[in-house]
Amino acid sequence: MELKLYSRYRNSAGQRVRTALNIKGVDYEYIPVSLDGGAPEDYRAVNPQMLIPSLMIDGEIVTQSTALIEFIEEMFEGPSLFPEDPIARARSRAFSQVIACEIHPVIGPKIQRHLKAEYDVERQGRADWYGHWIHEGFKTCETLLQRRASVTPFCYDEKPTVGDLYLVPQMYNARLSGLDLSTYPLLLELDERCRALPAFDKAMPENQPDFPSDPAVRAKKH
């Protein structure tokens, strides 16, 4: 089976999928997609939404990170990406969807570009918008973890599962944006524990082939 992952080093949705593939021990070809000013027009043939990631499996395309993680779980052997207990599994999914549905869609590059182009929102205004939605979502995530019936090393299991896959990339981007995350001790603890694992480390932005060597390029907002 030939897998090609269309992604970008600082794409949090792509990082989720990279981590899932790494946990399963699945090899894939990494194809970088630049998002400077939006994805290139020829990428529309791969994904009509012009979003990343996209995964090509023997010529067939699957998009959206949530669908891709479900596909990877169903398709490949290896450690499960979901808790075995049905309640823990549902709660892990719910935790991940706070990030996927309540944070990520309203702070991404497409939204940032729209705020600037259509409403003339200046850089500080866009930063305030970004920080507001990050904190709103992280407050919820921290509270959900506080309410766990039993404390586990990872979000809802003894091993990393889908909630952890979503948390780590969002924490990375929040930290990169200079946000104060000290009020989320459980999120910080889980993030640190996950990043120490090879599957997560291999998926980190700085370990991708398109990671820029120029710090000025890395610091640029997309």
User: Three-class SS of residue 141?
Assistant: helix
pLDDT value, residue 113: 82
Enumerate residues 6+ apart whose C-beta is below 8 A from 62.
54, 55, 68, 71
| Distance between CA atoms of residues 155 and 148, nearest Å | 9
Q: Residue 221: is its pLDDT beyond 70?
A: no
Amino acid present at 113: R
Give ∠ CA 143-164-15 in degrees, rounded to 5: 130
Are the C-beta atoms of 52 and 3 separated by less than 8 Å? Answer: no
Q: Which part of the chain is CATH 1.20.1050.10?
A: 86-203
At the fourth CATH level, which superfamily is domain 3-78+208-219? Glutaredoxin (3.40.30.10)
Give residue-wise pLDDT tens across range 71-124: 999 999 999 999 999 999 999 999 999 999 999 888 887 888 888 888 888 989
Backbone phi, psi, residue 154, to 5°: -120, -175
Domain 86-203 in CATH 1.20.1050.10:
yes
| Distance between CA atoms of residues 75 and 46, nearest Å | 21
Q: Which part of the chain is CATH 3.40.30.10?
A: 3-78+208-219
CA separation (Å) from 209 to 8, 98, 172?
Answer: 9, 30, 18
Tokens of 171: 């924490």
Confidence of residue 213 (pLDDT cuts 50, 70, 90): confident
